[in-house]
Amino acid sequence: MLLERSSPISLESEKAGHMIGYRLHPDLNISETLNTKEELPDFMWQGKIPWIAHRLLLGAAVLIGCLLAFAPNANARDTGFRTFHLKAAGTAMTVYAYRPLFCRHPSILFVFHGLHRKASKVRKKAANIARDACLVVLAPLFDKERFPNWRYHRAGVVYRGKPTPRSQWTAPILRGLIAAARDALNLPTAKIYLFGHSAGGQFLSRVSAYSPLPEIARIVIANPSVYVAPDLSTPAPYGFGGLFSPLKARQRLKAYLALPITLYLGQNDTGNKYLVRNDAAMRQGRHRLDRGRKIFRAAQRFAADKGWPFNWRLVEVPGVGHSSGGMLRAAAFYRALGIRARSLEPTWDKQQAG
């Protein structure tokens, strides 16, 4: 049964809200479609818990926790799926969310879909790591009508070969989504992780290069067709030429190489389906795997030559091709994020970098 509504939800118990970790920010307009078979009720997402229900939930949580402890391979039905409609930088956005049960102090993982705009599916593909590592998954939908390829893949910075006004860039929407998520989830200090596959990886490459976001724990760029290369002369959106003054371009490139970026590559991603094949793209390599390896080495070499900080990492997944599900479900994804299961403690050290 589907219940559809759009109404404000007030917070009755601040204490309960801290326990569950969700509230509704008063400035955030949210309408949702609630599937009673699959999704958490409002009081578990926004902290509205009657005192009797609060005690019953605690008892039920202990009982279920004990049962799960003795059934580690059980695949219980997920109940934390929900769809939000909110505004970011003045733009109405649909965001598909998943919050696993018994995840008290989560970090936030944004996942960005590929060419076919299947945001709800990529959210579900990220559910396993969300449960394992205590992550809230948020998958924004960049629909093709409002976000054609030049606004999504290329982050709105260039249209038909010419730089666009900053007002048309897409990065402010991502910045707004991050702020709205922190408020809506009542997680003001949660770590933020970004993962983009294919077209989503292109989007994150452009945002990272031209409009870097502060305080991101890790940006995982997975199997994109092309990257922003560490090159001051190649025109945007494939390099840093044409968007900024020479001094500003140099500053942006230095900041780009210092970001906590992981290039996350499937070792079988060597086909050419949907592969960008223009001259600028072909100069980066023959296929996605080749391009990722070459861009990483070029970035590493450029930073070393300049004596600049370099915080990129390269993680490859054997046996996986151009598959967002394969990349998200691989054990290597923990290394790509720099986390480990059941914990968000960093697993990388200086010897592992690169």
pLDDT of amino acid 198? 98
Q: Are 346 and 338 in contact (CB under 8 A)?
A: yes
**Burial class of residue 13, CB neighbours in 10 A (0-12, 13-18, 19+):** middle
Domains of the chain (ranges plus CATH)?
A: 1-77 (no CATH), 80-337 (3.40.50.1820)
Q: Are 348 and 313 in contact (CB under 8 A)?
A: yes
Q: Are 32 and 8 in contact (CB under 8 A)?
A: no
pLDDT of amino acid 214? 82
- Could you give the CA distance from residue 42 to residue 31 in angstroms, rounded to a whole number? 12
Name 7's Cβ contacts closer than 8 Å, sequence gap at least 6. none
DSSP 338: T
Tens-digit pLDDT profile for the chain (354 aa)?
333 333 332 222 223 333 233 333 333 443 333 333 344 544 445 444 454 554 555 555 545 444 343 333 333 344 699 999 889 999 999 999 999 988 889 999 999 999 999 999 999 999 999 999 999 999 999 999 999 999 999 999 999 999 999 999 999 999 999 999 999 899 999 999 999 999 999 999 999 999 988 889 999 999 999 999 999 999 999 999 999 999 999 999 999 999 999 999 999 999 999 999 999 999 999 999 999 999 999 999 999 999 999 999 999 999 999 999 999 999 999 999 999 776 444 444 333 333
